[in-house]
Amino acid sequence: MARKKVIISERIADEGVELLKTELDVDYRDGIAREELLNIIDQYDALIVRSVTQVDEELISRGTKLKIVGRAGNGVDNIKVDVCTRYGVIVANTPDSNTISAAEQTISLLLSSVRNTAWASEYLKAGTWDRKPFRGVELYGKTVGIIGLGRIGSMVATRLKAFNMKVIAYDPYIADERFIRFGAEKRESLEELASEADFITVHTPRNEETRHMINEEFFARAKDGVRVVNCARGGIIKEEALLKGLESKKIMSAGLDVFEKEPANNNPLFKFKNVVVTPHLGADTFEAQKRVGENIAEQVIKALRGEIVPNVVNLPTMLNEELEYLRPYITLAEKMGNLYYQMEKSAINRIELTYSGPISANETEMLTVAFLKGLLEPVMWEKVNYVNARLMAEERGIKIFDRKEEQSPKRYKNLISARIFNNGHDLAIDGTVSRARDPLLVEINGFETESNLEGYLLIVKNEDRPRVIGPFATALGDEGVNIAGMKVARKAKGEVAIMIINVDTKVEENILDKLSKLDGIVGKPQLLQF
C-alpha cells in the first residue's frame, strides 16, 4: 500500500519532520511559492503550515486528496476554517505546545518593563553608570488584571500568584470553577477590571469581538500609572490609544511582543524608553518549537490513520483527558448512527439525541458529530467525516436536537439514546459502553438487549413460541455461519420478538432469503456490519 504524502510549506522543527517520515512521504518545501503550491497540492494528503501560507478556497479546492491542514502554532488567521469544513478537511493546530513559552514571555516582559531592564541595559552599554532614571516598582502586593483565562492566561495567573500578587480576571466564556482553580477573582466586565488593576495583561484570541477591546474608553477607566503587557495578538490593544496613554503618562509602561502590523518597523511606540518590545517571540523557545513540530506531526499522522485528532479547530474542543474518557462513547455514537441506513431506506426528518449520566458533564457535541458521521456513511461513504458531518446532515434537511440528563433513566450508568424520525419508519435505539469499554446496543425499538456492536450483526424478527430460535440457529450452522453471541428479547409473551445475533462471517443475501422462509421467522433477517 502506497504511503500517504504530506507537504510542509514553512519551517518546523527537525524532530517533527523525522516523526512524519516514520509513516509518511514528506516533501519539505520551506518558503515554497504560492503558484507552485497551487499546482502540486493535489498530490498530497496533508499540508503543514505556519503563519505565512494562505490556506483559502483556491488552495483547498485544488487539494482534492487533502484530509488535514496542520497549523504548527496556535492562531489560524491564515486558514479559512469554514472553507476547510465545507470541503471536509480537518484543521488542527498546537494550542498547548507554546503555552509555557508564551506565559514565561509575558512574565519576562512584565518584569522588564516595570524595572526598566532594557532601557538600563542600553544605557549602561553606552558607557554610563547611573541608577536614577531606572527606578521601578515591585509586583509584590499589587493587583494584576488578566483578560482571558484560557491556557496561557491561567498559567500567568498561577505564576503571578507566586509573586504575592492579587489576581483578578475577566473572561465571559470561562466557567466560575476555573477562576477558583487558578486563584483568580472574577470580574464581570472589562470596566470593572480596568478600574482595579495596577498591571494588565491580555490573553485572548484576535477576532471581531476582541479587536481594539483595549481602547481609549478602557484606559479612561484605568488607574493612573497602569502598566500593560500584550503577548497575545496585535490589535487587541488599540495602538493609537496606547500611544496616547503613554504620552499623557496615564500608562506608565508597556511590554509588547505583538503589533497591529507585523513585521513592525518604525512603530511610533518604539520611541518610548518605558516600552519594552520583542519581535513576536512568545512561542520562540527551543522547547516550544520542538513540541510544536512533534505535536503537529502526531496530529497529521492520527488524521491520516483515520483516528480522532485532539486539537481540531473545526470540531468541538476537548482536553486530552476528556477525549480519553469520551473516546469509547464516540465510537458507540458512531456505530449507533450507522444502524439506521443499514436497516431503513427512508429519508430522515429529525434526530433527537439524549446523553444521560456522568457523560453529560462533558462536551457532548463530539458525540453528536460522531453519530451523524456514522449515520451518513452508509449513503455517502468517503464524502462524510467528523468535520463536515453536521453540515452535511443539515444540508440534507435533517433537524438535529440533543439534550443532557444528569441521571440515566435505566440501570446503566451512562446512556446514549437516539430517536430517528422519518415517514413512519422511526427507529429508537439506546447504547452504552461495557466494562471493557466496548460499544453495546442495549435497546432497539423497545426490545431490551445487550449486544456488541462489532463485526457482523443479524437482526431477526420471530414469533414468540417454541421451536423457532433453535431451528434458526441450526440453519445458520448448516450454512457454515458461526454464532459468536445471541440475545433474544420480547415486549410481551406471544407477540413478535427479536433475535440479535453476532456472527463471525458475512451472511450472503441468498442465505438471508432462505432463512426468511423458516417457520416462525417474520420478514427477512437484516445483516448489519460494523
Residues designated catalytic: 233, 262, 280
Are 78 and 55 in contact, with CB atoms under 8 Å apart? yes
DSSP codes joined into one string, 10-53: S---HHHHHHHHTTSEEEE-TT--HHHHHHHGGG-SEEEE-SSS
Q: What is the DSSP letter of 282?
A: T
The Cα 293–Cα 282 span in angstroms is 16
CB-based contacts of 122, cutoff 8 Å, min separation 6: none
How crowded is the C-beta side of 481, counted as CA atoms within 13 Å? 22
Q: What is the DSSP letter of 510?
A: H
> What is the Rg, in whole angstroms, of the alpha carbon atoms belonging to the chain?
30
Are 387 and 89 in contact, with CB atoms under 8 Å apart? yes
Query: Which residue shows C-alpha cell 461495557?
Result: 434
380 to each of 76, 267, 459, how far by Cα in Å? 29, 53, 23
Nearest to 50 by CA among 11, 102, 13: 11
Q: What's the farthest any 2 CA atoms get from each other in the chain?
A: 105
Nearest to 362 by CA among 404, 332, 313, 331: 404
The Cα 137–Cα 13 span in angstroms is 39
Alpha helices (H) along 307-411: 320-343, 365-380, 389-395
The Cα 209–Cα 206 span in angstroms is 8
- Bridge partners (DSSP) of residue 27 are 7
C-alpha cell at 352: 433527537
Helix (H, G, I), strand (E, B) or coil at 175: coil
Helix (H, G, I), strand (E, B) or coil at 333: helix
Nearest to 456 by CA among 493, 507, 415: 507
How crowded is the C-beta side of 320, counted as CA atoms within 13 Å? 5
- Bridge partners (DSSP) of residue 91 are 69
Q: What are residue 154's phi and psi, to 5 degrees?
A: -70, -35
245 by Cβ neighbours in 10 Å (0-12 / 13-18 / 19+) ranks as buried
